[in-house]
């Protein structure tokens, strides 16, 4: 991708749909729903340094995925635009698509993102297709589901769904995972089970997941409760109050790098794993003024540049991180390179090549899956 983000923002006008719009430096309010701020904040801040005449400052806040749609709807109904950019995963993107909350990016603003699909890594391009033109994929993770465990407590890691269920029943309350609607590992496990169990239609959670829902209900019998976020899961795992969880690559590497989970903890792949990949997206709520839209679009294009993408290796939080081609680990900051070398796992490259990859559920199906899990599995145990 060429440096198309270098628009003439320094000039007195911005072009939106062919109309010149006067713009003073903007305050851009960013809300992080899925944790991507850890990967993107330095790159976002560097945009202000490069374009002080476009942005006066950024504000950053965080919000739980299930709560943000209602807030956005209320703001839009009141004709207020207090949020300019949302960073989030498939959960918030899907909910926003269902509720018609997002500004359409493509094809309306395709000129801002020249050769977008061609610049993505092949699996990231597949993830962009899920956005239906209403979001832009910015970071990519070869996800899971994987099993993470304390090797001092678990002598034989389960590598089949039957073995996982048997271990859970033999060790009640020692397995934990978070509510899928607000957890990357939780939703990856939910979406990966139909492939592991050989369900009728892995893309249809209502009519095609009979084995999955039966399995989750049985697994529920030996799980004490479901936290509302993955951070709580990792805290309990690291403290030793739980011995096992389902995870994804980034949530394995990063908590160990941060010391939340001991470095010695292990991961196992299911024998018949199908990778359900994950992505974090950039979304623009409806209702922004044209001058703000211009700056936010330019920022989004900037974040897809290789130099900014290299920062997304971070500390392994969303492994590997970059969504675009030709961004090797050698481009990342030295600290990121050191973390990946120390806390990454050689088997990830082997498993990535060995097992098939699929996209997550489309927006409507994902919302349906979350709703059914909330009603039938987590209703009495989520806290």
Q: What is the pLDDT of residues 352-376, one digit of tens each?
A: 889 999 999 988 898 899 999 999 9
CB atoms within 10 A of CB 225: 15
Can you give the pLDDT at residue 23? Answer: 63
Whether 121 contacts 323, CB under 8 Å:
yes
Regarding predicted confidence, which is higher, 318 or 218?
218
Judged against a pLDDT cut of 60, whether residue 18 lies above it is answered with: no
pTM: 0.80
Whether 117 contacts 302, CB under 8 Å:
no
Beta bridge partners of 29: 59
Judged against a pLDDT cut of 90, whether residue 90 lies above it is answered with: no
Helix (H, G, I), strand (E, B) or coil at 22: strand
Mean pLDDT of the chain, nearest integer: 91
pLDDT single digits (tens) 39-85: 999 999 999 999 999 999 999 999 887 789 989 988 888 888 899 99
Can you give the pLDDT at residue 7? Answer: 42
Q: How far is residue 309's CA from residue 326's CA, in Å, rounded to a whole number?
A: 10
Name which of 260, 90, 256 is nearest 186 in CA terms: 90
Helices (H) and strands (E) in the chain, counts: 15, 13
Strand ranges, E, within 100-200: 136-144, 146-149, 175-176
Residues in the chain: 383
Percent of the chain with pLDDT over 70: 94
Percent of the chain with pLDDT over 90: 78
CA dihedral 345, 349, 351, 354 (to 10 degrees): -160
What domains does the chain contain, in order, with CATH numbers? 13-141+278-335 (3.40.190.10), 143-277+346-376 (3.40.190.10)
């Amino acid at each position: 991708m060429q440096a198309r983000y270098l628009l003439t923002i320094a000039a007195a006008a911005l072009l939106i749909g062919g109309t010149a719009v006067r713009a003073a430096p903007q305050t851009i309010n960013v809300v992080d729903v899925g944790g991507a701020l850890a990967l993107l904040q330095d790159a976002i801040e560097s945009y202000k340094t490069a374009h002080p005449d476009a942005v006066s400052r950024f504000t950053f806040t965080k919000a739980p995925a299930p709560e943000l749609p209602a807030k956005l709807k209320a703001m839009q109904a009141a004709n207020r635009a207090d949020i300019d950019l949302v960073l989030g995963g498939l959960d918030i993107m899907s909910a926003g698509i269902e509720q018609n909350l997002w500004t359409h990016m493509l094809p309306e603003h395709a000129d801002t993102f020249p050769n977008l699909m061609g610049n993505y890594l092949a699996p990231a391009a597949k993830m962009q297709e899920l956005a239906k033109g209403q979001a832009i994929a910015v970071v990519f993770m070869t996800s899971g589901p994987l099993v993470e465990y304390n090797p001092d407590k678990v002598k034989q890691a389960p590598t089949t769904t039957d073995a996982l269920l048997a271990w859970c029943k033999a060790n009640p309350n020692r397995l934990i995972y978070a509510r899928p609607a607000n957890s990357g590992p939780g939703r990856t496990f939910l979406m990966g089970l139909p492939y592991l169990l050989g369900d009728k239609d892995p893309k249809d959670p209502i009519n095609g997941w009979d084995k999955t829902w039966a399995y989750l209900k049985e697994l529920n019998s030996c799980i004490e409760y479901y936290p509302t976020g993955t951070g709580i899961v990792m805290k309990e795992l690291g403290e030793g109050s739980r011995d096992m969880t389902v995870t994804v690559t980034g949530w394995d590497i990063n908590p160990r790098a941060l010391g939340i989970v001991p470095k010695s903890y292990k991961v196992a792949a299911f024998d018949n794993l199908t990778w359900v990949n994950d992505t974090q997206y950039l979304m623009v709520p409806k209702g922004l003024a044209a001058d703000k839209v211009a700056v936010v679009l330019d920022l989004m294009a900037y974040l897809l540049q290789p130099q900014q993408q290299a920062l997304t290796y971070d500390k392994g939080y969303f492994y590997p991180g970059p969504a675009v081609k030709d961004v090797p680990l050698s481009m990342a900051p030295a600290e990121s390179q050191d973390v990946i070398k120390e806390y990454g796992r050689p088997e990830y490259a082997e498993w990535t090549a060995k097992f098939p990859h699929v996209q997550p559920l489309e927006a409507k199906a994902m919302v349906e899956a979350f709703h059914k899990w909330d009603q039938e599995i987590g209703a009495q145990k989520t806290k």
